[in-house]
């Protein structure tokens, strides 16, 4: 096993609490704010952030789920994966500040696709980005507003985020590409 | 799929079982869609799930995604057909593909240009996907031999109409409990002999586990009894000339269009006799399951194979079939051109 | 050895070969020597206890049914290319069918074909089958006596049956007086209108218009009944003879067996492709008939692509059970001959939708290989196959060659039984590449064909 743990469950929890504070601070409140989790693991992360915000602000911010599959460009094709669950935005995005939530920020193409998708639903006032891990190697001019942990990586490495809701446990691992058995 | 305002509420439900990484699906492995006979249950399932996605897109204010941007789809129909042709065109455009429509009025032989030459021309003009309908069985197989892109069979002779079978399956899953066809009695009534819709449905419905019945006058059922006998036991196919036996307890009934030409071929004495013995109407449907649904691939000869009130009534899902056709064709175009519904591992 | 096609065989020694001579009723190890075009020596070696030789020697084969497409469709084949293909296939005699454009229904037309044969490079024997009806139109008789005088050995409207039963009756009677057989293409056209492949499970699945076996059985029964009637009433010196060509169904073979049992002068032939292929080939199955018989194709993946127009033929490929019945009929003598029904077509005629493709399989060069595959599988034995390609056709035509005897002109074919050859555009001599065997290896390789003492085919060393 060449995998190495880089975030424990507690570290994830603390990072999310910090991000939840930052989001509200940056926005100056919770009015006209919504979180949009990118399928798959961005969704439970967004839900947890909403719960954290509710705890310290007493307000529940709406959470949506976004499937960006139909907006990918060719270069980000990934081999066989479970089929995704779809898009559900239970709010009108017009005039809102949307915070895109995802687990890992890498080339930036997913976020670009997410922005394209959101634009098809309406005209948000602003779009921000919160990620658990930023691993570098951006191919597009995209920057996260809120980062759980910066992890410099090489292209031969892969980041695996485990979340209770999806994987049964909470942790983040880094491993060598090709050493994996199950795809993340 | 929605989040309640209650912070104690469970996290957002994705509508599917909590999927783990173990639920890997193979993805789509077929270059063409010429036939449903070559699709197994996982393939059918993938199309159904992708069509669900597409139906979600169709429900949006802007029912369009850029998934097939830059892909050129040529629709080449040698037989007149408005609904299927338009359905494919709408499907392609909803995925942001570029669409070229060619309506060849007659067979290539009569026209003077061979099918192979026409396909080569279409390819030279940049088509990535060729959607074809033709009066000869095997025509799309021939096109697939010479076309370097992807071929979708929009109907070839009596042989196959895969997207129709897929949208029929999709519609049935919407209405049957748990979307499960296993053990459900599904009946197709009409001119089975000349029907590519029937032939394709035989494969898709028996693959999905249905108990399929074919019913019609003996002259229009020729050859299907030996076919039923030759199929493996896992494919349940019954052939009968008795409409009452067919409809008894049926969960879904599909009527096929009966064409006037059959009379001149000596296959039937008259449309009147056919309607008297085989027309789907409310009276006959009494023997079917209480919530049995009625399908028809269209266009309908109301008053012949189906009574108008049944076609428009509560059991009918015919208009849904049309809407589902767009979603299913979007799914097919998406899967063929290499799209996979995946999750990003990278960001 | 350096030799050219057409030249007299100066000298050839075949030391230790497996000789099959149905006329002598014998097969075994033998040695032959040919000098100056004649068999100088022939010795059977029964004391030979060495390993079975892998070189086969057979009498030159006869093909009763060849379409040479000349005049009218020389793009598909000419008399010359058909003769070259025949020699490659081991045939030293071929019979040309008259459904050319225009058809062979005058003495002049017969003469032209003879001239084309003489002018070709290949020294094999060519016989002409002339039309039964004028213009093959099925309305009135062709000038049969004139045609017989010009050299026609039989009459046929092949490609079509003689639709009018009354005219068929007259034709049988008239040709009987000329001691020539009527070669009937037995097909009830009312049942085959628009048909594309055999009417069975494969057709139902593929959505192709079916060609019912009944169309052949009904036509064969009719022809036999008419023959019986004509035979009953004919003058003693004008006994009618009926030859049913390219039978494809067990039912038809049963009818012939019963007719022969009553002493009727009916003969019949079967094609190699109806013995070894089956209707599953239209769907892309490539198992031989004997491999598929226990489990005929009924949906599911296949080796080749479906709707290969090279499988479209009249009569159509039938289910494996029919192929087996035909093989049995060959073994019990019901079927007299194997004839290829060599039907070359241009790519233009075949590279179209299945239902629009011309009917026909190009078969002169692949006949022996297909039959040897059947022999290898134990479905047929070699002497039966060779008899059906030599003695059998000779009897149908009422002719007989000199045979493999000392002093006779050398008319034989030498086959490398252990070898094989790849059927492809470079190896075929026919212009018609329309065979579903393209790209396949067939057992047995023809090394030499000698026709009436001359070189007709030399593998690898041929000069033109």
Spatial distance between the Cα atoms of C1 and C14, rounded to a whole number of angstroms? 13
Task: Compare CB distances from B347 to A62, A102, A117 and report the shortest one's residue.
Answer: A102
pLDDT at A93: 93
**Residue A126, SS3?**
strand
Residue numbers of the domain that contains A65: 7-75+84-156
Query: What residues of chain A lie within 8 A of the CB of B343, using their CB?
Result: 39-40, 69, 78, 81-82, 84
Q: Is residue B266 domain-shared with residue B304, that is, in the same domain?
A: yes
Dihedral, CA of residue C309, residue C310, residue C315 and residue C319, to nearest 10: -90
Is residue A164 situated within a structural domain? no
User: What is the nearest CA distance from B338 to chain A, expressed in angstroms?
Assistant: 9
User: The domain that contains A123 carries what CATH number?
Assistant: 3.40.50.2020
Catalytic-labelled residue, pool C73, C105, C157, C341: C341
- Work out how many domains chain A is built from and give that number: 1
Q: Is residue B297 domain-shared with residue B220, that is, in the same domain?
A: yes
* CB contact B225 to C (< 8 Å): no
Residues facing A33 on adjacent strands: A97
Is residue A21 situated within a structural domain? yes
pLDDT at C47: 83
pLDDT at B80: 82
pTM of the model: 0.88
The residues, ordered by sequence, that sit 6+ positions from C286 with a Cβ below 8 Å of its Cβ are C302, C303, C304, C436, C440
Tokens (6 digits) for B217: 């006058």
Place of tokens 């602003």: A126
pLDDT at A179: 65
Report pLDDT digits (tens) over C110-159.
999 999 999 998 999 999 999 999 999 999 999 999 999 999 999 999 99
Would you tell me how many other CB atoms lie within 10 Å of the CB of residue B305? 24
Spatial distance between the Cα atoms of C373 and C323, rounded to a whole number of angstroms? 14
pLDDT at A180: 53
pLDDT at position A77 over 60:
no
pLDDT at B10: 34
Q: 3-state DSSP helix/strand/coil percent for chain B, to nearest 5?
A: 40, 15, 45
Confirm whether C269 is a catalytic residue.
no
Nearest CA in chain B to C199: B223
pLDDT at position C390 over 60:
yes
Residue numbers of the domain that contains B278: 162-322
* CB contact B108 to C (< 8 Å): yes
Is residue A172 situated within a structural domain? no
Is residue A169 situated within a structural domain? no
Is residue A173 situated within a structural domain? no
Nearest CA in chain B to C356: B109
Is residue B78 situated within a structural domain? yes
Give the percent of chain C with pLDDT over 70.
99
Inspect the interface and report whether the beta carbons of B3 and A90 lie closer than 8 Å: yes
Query: What residues of chain C lie within 8 A of the CB of B230, using their CB?
Result: 201, 296, 298-299
Query: What residues of chain A lie within 8 A of the CB of B3, using their CB?
Result: 47, 62-64, 90
Report pLDDT digits (tens) over C245-258.
999 999 999 999 99
Spatial distance between the Cα atoms of B50 and C359, rounded to a whole number of angstroms? 43
Q: Is residue B183 domain-shared with residue B302, that is, in the same domain?
A: yes
* CB contact B276 to C (< 8 Å): no
Nearest CA in chain B to A82: B24
Confidence of residue C437 (pLDDT cuts 50, 70, 90): very high
Q: Is residue B146 domain-shared with residue B167, that is, in the same domain?
A: no
Q: Is residue B270 domain-shared with residue B171, that is, in the same domain?
A: yes
Is residue A127 situated within a structural domain? yes
Mean pLDDT value across chain C: 96
For chains C and A, tell me whether 3 or more CB atom pairs sit within 8 A of each other: no
Mean pLDDT value across chain A: 89
Residue A136 is classified by DSSP as -
Tokens (6 digits) for B148: 């370097």
Q: Is residue B68 domain-shared with residue B136, that is, in the same domain?
A: yes
Q: Is residue B302 domain-shared with residue B207, that is, in the same domain?
A: yes
Q: Is residue B166 domain-shared with residue B155, that is, in the same domain?
A: no
Is residue B11 situated within a structural domain? no
- Work out how many domains chain B is built from and give that number: 2
Would you tell me how many other CB atoms lie within 10 Å of the CB of residue A7? 23
Is residue B25 situated within a structural domain? no
Report pLDDT digits (tens) over A16-59.
999 999 999 999 999 999 999 998 899 999 999 999 999 999 99
Domain boundary among B110, B134, B160: B160
User: What is the nearest CA distance from B120 to chain A, expressed in angstroms?
Assistant: 27
Inspect the interface and report whether the beta carbons of B7 and A131 lie closer than 8 Å: no
Q: Is residue B272 domain-shared with residue B174, that is, in the same domain?
A: yes
Is residue B338 situated within a structural domain? no
User: The domain that contains B105 carries what CATH number?
Assistant: 3.40.50.1370
User: What is the nearest CA distance from A69 to chain B, expressed in angstroms?
Assistant: 6
Sheet holding B72-77, edge to edge: B98-103, B72-77, B129-134, B150-156
Of residues C300 and B252, more confidently modeled = B252
* CB contact B109 to C (< 8 Å): yes
Q: What is the 3-state secondary structure (H, E, C) of chain C?
A: CCCCCCCECCEEEEEEEEEEECCCCEEEEEEEEEECCEEEEEEECCCCCCCCCCEEEEECEEEEEECCCCCCCCCCCCHHHHHHHHHHHCEEEEEECCCCCCCCCCHHHHHHHHHHHHHCCCCCEEEEEECCEHHHCCCCECCHHHHHHCCEEEEECCCCCCCCHHHHHHHHHHHHHCCCCEEECCCCHHHCCCCCEECCHHHHHHCCCEECHHHHHHHHHHHHHHHHHHHHHCCCCCCCCEEECCCCCHHHHHHHHHHHHCCCCEEEEECHHHHHCCCHHHHCCCCCHHHHCCCCCCCCCCCCCCCCHHHCCCCCCCCHHHHHHHHHHHHCCCCCEECCCECCCCHHHHCCCHHHCCCCCCCCCCHHHHHHHHHHCCCCCHHHHHHHHCHHHHHHHCCCCCCCCCCCECCEEEEEEEEEEECCCCCCCCCCCCCCCCCCEEEEEEEEEEECCEEEEECCCCCC
Is residue B305 situated within a structural domain? yes
Q: Is residue B196 domain-shared with residue B303, that is, in the same domain?
A: yes
* CB contact B160 to C (< 8 Å): yes
Is residue B22 situated within a structural domain? no
Spatial distance between the Cα atoms of B22 and C20, rounded to a whole number of angstroms? 66
Q: Is residue B227 domain-shared with residue B318, that is, in the same domain?
A: yes
Q: Is residue B189 domain-shared with residue B314, that is, in the same domain?
A: yes
pLDDT at A181: 53
Is residue B275 situated within a structural domain? yes
Q: What is the mean pLDDT of residues A84-91?
A: 81
Q: Which residue ranges form the domains of chain C, and what is each CATH number? A: 60-402 (3.20.20.140)
Is residue A96 situated within a structural domain? yes
* CB contact B95 to A (< 8 Å): yes
pLDDT per residue, tens digit, chain B (347 aa), is 333 333 333 333 333 333 333 334 578 889 999 999 999 999 999 999 999 999 989 998 889 999 998 899 999 999 888 899 999 999 999 999 999 998 776 444 456 788 999 999 999 999 999 999 999 999 999 999 999 999 999 999 999 999 999 999 999 999 999 999 999 999 999 999 999 999 999 999 999 999 999 999 999 999 999 999 999 999 999 999 999 999 999 999 999 999 777 666 789 998 999 999 999 999 999 999 999 999 999 899 999 999 999 999 999 999 999 999 999 999 999 999 976 443 334 45
Is residue A175 situated within a structural domain? no
pLDDT at B8: 37
Task: Compare CB distances from B136 to C205, C348, C353 and report the shortest one's residue.
Answer: C353
Is residue B23 situated within a structural domain? no
Among A96-100, B148-152, B211-215, C460-464, the minimum mean pLDDT is found in: C460-464
Inspect the interface and report whether the beta carbons of C356 and B136 lie closer than 8 Å: yes
Query: Environment class of residue C181 by beta-carbon count within 10 Å: exposed (0-12), middle (13-18) or buried (19+)?
Result: buried
Chain C: partners with 3+ C-beta pairs within 8 Å: B
């Amino acid at each position: 096993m060449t995998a190495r743990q880089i975030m424990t469950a507690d570290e994830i929890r603390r990072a999310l609490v910090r991000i939840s504070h930052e989001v509200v601070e940056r926005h100056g409140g919770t009015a006209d704010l919504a979180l949009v989790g990118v399928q798959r693991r961005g969704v439970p992360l967004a839900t947890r952030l909403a719960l954290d915000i509710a705890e310290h602000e007493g307000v529940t911010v709406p959470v949506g789920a976004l499937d960006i599959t139909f907006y990918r460009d060719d270069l980000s094709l990934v081999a066989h994966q479970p089929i995704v669950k779809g898009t559900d935005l239970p709010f009108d995005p017009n005039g809102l500040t949307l915070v895109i939530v995802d687990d890992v920020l890498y080339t930036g193409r997913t976020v670009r696709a997410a922005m394209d998708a959101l634009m098809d639903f309406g005209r948000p006032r602003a779009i921000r980005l919160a990620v658990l891990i930023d691993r570098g190697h951006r191919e597009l001019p995209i920057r996260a507003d809120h980062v759980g942990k910066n992890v410099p990586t090489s292209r031969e490495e892969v980041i695996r985020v485990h979340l209770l809701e999806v994987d049964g446990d909470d942790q983040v691992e880094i491993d060598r590409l090709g050493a994996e058995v199950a795809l993340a | 799929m929605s989040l309640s305002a209650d912070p104690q509420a469970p996290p957002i439900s994705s509508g599917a079982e909590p999927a783990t990484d173990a639920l890997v699906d193979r993805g789509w492995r077929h270059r063409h869609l010429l036939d449903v006979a070559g699709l197994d249950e996982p393939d059918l399932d993938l199309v159904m799930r992708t069509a669900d996605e597409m139906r979600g897109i169709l429900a949006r204010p802007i029912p369009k995604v850029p998934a097939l941007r830059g892909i050129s789809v040529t629709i080449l129909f040698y037989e007149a057909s408005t609904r299927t042709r338009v359905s494919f065109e709408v499907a392609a455009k909803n995925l942001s593909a570029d669409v070229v429509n060619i309506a060849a009025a007659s067979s290539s032989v009569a026209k003077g240009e061979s099918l192979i030459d026409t396909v080569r021309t279409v390819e030279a003009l940049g088509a990535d996907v060729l959607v074809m309908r033709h009066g000869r069985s095997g025509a799309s197989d021939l096109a697939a031999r010479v076309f370097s892109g992807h071929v979708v069979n929009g109907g070839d002779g009596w042989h196959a109409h895969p997207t129709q079978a897929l949208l029929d399956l999709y519609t049935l899953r919407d209405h049957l409990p748990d979307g499960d066809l296993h053990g459900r009695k599904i009946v197709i009534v009409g001119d089975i002999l000349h029907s590519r819709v029937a032939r394709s449905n035989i494969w898709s419905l028996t693959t999905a586990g249905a108990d399929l019945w074919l019913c019609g006058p003996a002259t229009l059922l020729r050859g299907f009894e030996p076919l039923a006998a030759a199929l493996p036991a896992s494919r349940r196919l019954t052939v009968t000339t008795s409409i009452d036996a067919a409809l008894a307890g049926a969960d879904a009934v599909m009527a096929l269009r009966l064409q006037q030409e059959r009379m001149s071929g000596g296959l039937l004495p008259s449309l009147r006799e056919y309607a008297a013995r085989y027309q789907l109407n409310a009276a006959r449907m009494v023997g079917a399951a209480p919530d049995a649904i009625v399908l028809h691939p269209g266009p309908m000869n109301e008053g012949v194979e189906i009574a108008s009130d049944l076609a428009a009534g509560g059991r009918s899902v015919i208009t849904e079939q049309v809407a589902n056709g767009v979603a299913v064709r979007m799914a097919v175009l998406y899967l063929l051109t290499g799209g996979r519904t995946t999750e990003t591992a990278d960001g | 050895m350096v030799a050219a096609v057409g030249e007299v065989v100066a000298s050839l020694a075949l030391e230790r070969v497996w000789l099959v001579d149905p006329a002598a009723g014998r097969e075994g190890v033998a040695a032959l020597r040919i000098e100056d075009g004649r068999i100088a020596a022939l010795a059977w070696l029964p004391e030979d206890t060495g390993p079975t030789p892998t070189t086969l020697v057979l009498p030159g084969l006869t093909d009763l049914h060849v379409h040479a497409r000349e005049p009218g469709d020389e793009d598909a084949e000419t008399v010359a290319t058909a003769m070259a293909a025949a020699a490659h296939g081991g045939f030293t005699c071929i019979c040309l069918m008259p459904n050319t454009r225009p058809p062979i229904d005058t003495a002049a037309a017969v003469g032209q074909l003879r001239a084309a044969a003489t002018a070709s490079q290949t020294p094999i024997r060519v016989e002409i089958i002339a039309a039964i009806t004028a213009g093959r139109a099925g309305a009135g008789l062709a000038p049969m006596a004139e045609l017989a005088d010009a050299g026609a050995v039989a009459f046929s409207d092949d490609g079509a049956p003689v639709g009018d039963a009354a005219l068929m009756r007259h034709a049988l009677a008239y040709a009987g007086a000329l001691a020539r057989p009527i070669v009937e293409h037995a097909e009830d056209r009312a049942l085959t209108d628009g048909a594309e492949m055999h009417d069975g499970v494969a057709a139902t699945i593929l959505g192709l218009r079916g060609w019912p076996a009944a169309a052949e059985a009904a036509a064969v029964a009719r022809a036999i009944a008419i023959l019986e009637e004509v035979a009953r009433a004919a003058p003693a010196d004008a006994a009618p003879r009926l030859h049913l060509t390219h039978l494809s169904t067990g039912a038809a073979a049963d009818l012939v067996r019963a007719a022969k049992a009553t002493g009727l002068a009916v003969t019949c032939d079967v094609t190699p492709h109806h013995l070894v292929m089956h209707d599953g080939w239209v769907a892309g199955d490539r198992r031989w008939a004997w491999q598929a018989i226990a489990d005929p194709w009924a949906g599911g993946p296949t080796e080749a692509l479906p709707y290969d127009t090279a499988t479209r033929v009249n009569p159509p490929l039938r289910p494996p059970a029919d192929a087996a019945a035909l093989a049995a009929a060959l073994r019990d003598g019901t079927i007299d001959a194997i004839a290829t029904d060599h039907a070359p077509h241009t790519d233009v005629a075949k590279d179209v939708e299945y239902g629009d493709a011309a009917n026909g399989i190009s078969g002169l060069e692949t006949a022996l290989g297909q039959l040897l595959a059947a022999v290898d599988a134990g479905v047929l034995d070699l002497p039966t196959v060779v008899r059906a390609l030599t003695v059998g056709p000779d009897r149908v035509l009422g002719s007989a060659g000199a045979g493999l005897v000392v002093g006779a002109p050398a008319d034989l074919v030498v086959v490398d039984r252990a070898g094989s050859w790849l059927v492809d555009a470079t190896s075929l001599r026919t212009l018609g590449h329309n065979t579903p065997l393209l790209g396949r290896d067939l057992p047995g390789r023809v090394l030499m064909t000698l026709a009436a003492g001359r070189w007709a085919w030399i593998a690898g060393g041929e000069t033109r």
